[in-house]
Amino acid sequence: MSALDNPIIHYFEDITEGMTATFGKTVTEADILMFSGVSGDTNPVHLNDEYAKTTMFKGRIAHGMLSAGLISAVFGTKLPGPGCIYVNQSLKFKAPVKIGDTVVARVECTAKAEDKGFVTFRTQALVGDKVVIDGEATLMVPKRG
């Protein structure tokens, strides 16, 4: 059983600055193929090893948005959890992710807006100690009652 099977719900009132949550996944060949099919992004740097060897990455890399999707998984299942809605997300892609890399998405509450029920988070995706995505997100979070 994973965190995706047993979501945690944090209401707006439960969240405090500094709260964090993570979700990790090892990226597989199947993940890249499925993401390509769902997104329509068939860039050969993701799918064709011969082509990818000619790029600055010297091999295939995962779609950046596949790793960014793990950030969404944290929000939807752990912090805040079910019922939250994205308002915005900024992403800076800092390093490639390759097949076999384990990506850990991490979110940390940095601010709350009481009047709107918005919570701002620092968002990161890491492979080991290397930050591969850095960003910020604002979510609308349900209040109790």
For the stretch 98-110, pLDDT in tens is 999 999 999 999 9
- Residue 28: how many CA atoms within 13 Å on its side-chain side? 4
Pick the CATH number of 15-140 from 1.20.120.350, 3.10.129.10, 3.40.50.740, 3.40.50.150: 3.10.129.10
Residue type at position 18: G
pLDDT tens, position by position, 64-115: 999 999 999 999 999 999 999 999 999 999 999 999 999 999 999 999 999 9
Distance (Å, whole) CA 75 – CA 89: 12
Whether residue 80 is preceded by a cis peptide bond, meaning omega within 30 degrees of 0, is yes
Confidence (pTM): 0.92
- Where are the chain's structural domains? 15-140
Residue type, 37: G
